[in-house]
Chains A and B, each alone.
Chain A
């Protein structure tokens, strides 16, 4: 599934601008511990988290993740959005809580 399809199916908010949303998603990782994501997420994963600072973008970029989804309506700051635009990492948002959102994405991907 592509990032665009996920946005459409789950009515996600897109915070980044001019970032490629045609990337293919091959799975996901749910964690707020950055070293956990660094060690265990895989290329092409969606990353579901409540962390919203610059290092999240750095990790997503280093790991070639498909996108970041912020839960519970958490909004990224302008510097985070600017960095994500530059690194071509889509930052999306959902008003749902982590468990419900992860469950829906799991069903869509499996």
Chain B
């Protein structure tokens, strides 16, 4: 088992994608199938950007096991008021500045869901959100 941990700063867009890029490198070194790496990278990048765009700070932990990759993405932030709405494509609570950069199109959580096998959202309004994701490695 390989474990990678990252601290993510809220609001710092210049660093967004660093954790995803490190995880991608590690998965390549471990010879994980290319199509699975692509799925994991899309899901993780969206989750990483969600922390940067919405939260004060957060952490990402990635556990790479022979059978699956588990990702725990937790933040201290505003939380999600309505998960059903947040899961709808096109719905976003992102700020005008964030949208101007081309983020905040309301595709983050739907993109994550499409690219992993399991996704659980645990959120408390005013406290934060944690996202538990799992990608199986045996079905290419």
Which residue of chain B has the shortest Cβ distance to A38 in the bound complex?
Answer: B42
Q: How far is the CA of A105 from the CA of B5 in the complex (A)?
A: 41
Q: A39–B16 Cα gap in the complex (Å)?
A: 17
- B99: nearest chain-A partner, CB-CB: A33
The interface bits of chain A over 33-47 (1 if a CB of B lies within 8 angstroms of the residue's CB, else 0) are 111101100010000
Q: How large is the interface on A (under 10, 10 to 19, 20 to 34, 35 or more residues)?
A: 20 to 34
Tell me how far the C-beta of B102 lies from the nearest C-beta in chain A, rounded to whole angstroms: 4
The verdict on B76 contacting chain A, using a C-beta distance below 8 Å, is: no
Establish whether residues B17 and A39, one from each chain, have CB atoms under 8 Å apart when the complex forms.
no
Tell yes or no: B13 within 8 A of A by CB: yes
Q: Which residue of B lies closest to A62 (CB)?
A: B41
Total interface residues in chain B, CB < 8 Å: 22
* Set of chain B residues within 8 Å of A35, measured between Cβ atoms: 46, 49, 103, 105, 107-108, 111
> B111 and A33: CB pair below 8 A?
no
Contact with A along B44-85 (1 / 0, CB 8 A): 011001000000000000000000000000000000000000
**Nearest residue, chain B, Cβ from A51:** B102
Measured between beta carbons, the chain A residues less than 8 angstroms from B102 are 32-34, 49, 51, 55-56
